Chains A and B, each alone.
Chain A
Amino acid sequence: NAGVTQTPKFQVLKTGQSMTLQCAQDMNHEYMSWYRQDPGMGLRLIHYSVGAGITDQGEVPNGYNVSRSTTEDFPLRLLSAAPSQTSVYFCASSRQAYTGELFFGEGSRLTVL
């Protein structure tokens, strides 16, 4: 029972580099989302998906892309990393989109120099 798996757990990038944070869930959840957590800011929603082929923007989507080609996977792409994207990123999923009962991954700590 893996739940929500995020990779990598740690990553250091240089400004301008691109990378993809991977997220996979094995619970057949309909809803998947990406949050970033910054000190004193709580969690802020970046992008979310209510099913394969459907994505939408959250509160802070700029600089990030997502896609949902399968139910299981929801990668987050940083197109051109900036120091302001230094954060801890969490992927979360839910059995149904409307319940709000999220299952979280362990997080990915990203540092952009």
Chain B
Amino acid sequence: AQTVTQSQPEMSVQEAETVTLSCTYDTSESDYYLFWYKQPPSRQMILVIRQEAYKQQNATENRFSVNFQKAAKSFSLKISDSQLGDAAMYFCAYKNSGGSNYKLTFGKGTLLTVNP
């Protein structure tokens, strides 16, 4: 079974600085999807960024980018120019692609604090 590990239960960053959240995963599959989800204090979770394993180029969404290292099974999230609104719990998630596997596996989350 696939597992997702987020080794940093909590992180903090100064406003306008850059922070990187770590995620590693374990799989024997070659094709899959990776995600970062954000859960603000209001609780509703939203998708931040998505990466397809067959794509070598790292995904980017505005101030959010990933460092995808397939051989190392690592998928870190970099937040540039951190803003107060970035404070949230961040979850890394994995999903096999194709076939009949419809399940996402989530890590335990990293709580990010943004200091003014």
A interface vs B, CB < 8 Å?
Answer: 31, 35, 40-45, 48, 50, 56, 58-59, 88, 90, 92, 97-102, 104-107
Contacts and interface: CB of A to CB of B under 8 A. Distances in A.
Contacts, number: 51
A35 B43 CA distance: 13
23 contacts: A31-B102, A40-B108, A41-B108, A42-B91, A42-B108, A43-B106, A44-B106, A45-B103, A48-B102, A48-B103, A50-B102, A58-B103, A90-B45, A97-B102, A98-B98, A100-B50, A101-B47, A102-B47, A102-B104, A104-B46, A106-B42, A107-B43, A107-B44
Interface footprint category on B: 20 to 34
A41 B106 CA distance: 9
B83 interface: no
B27 to A, nearest CB: 14
Contacts of A35: 106
Contacts of A92: 45
B80 to A, nearest CB: 23
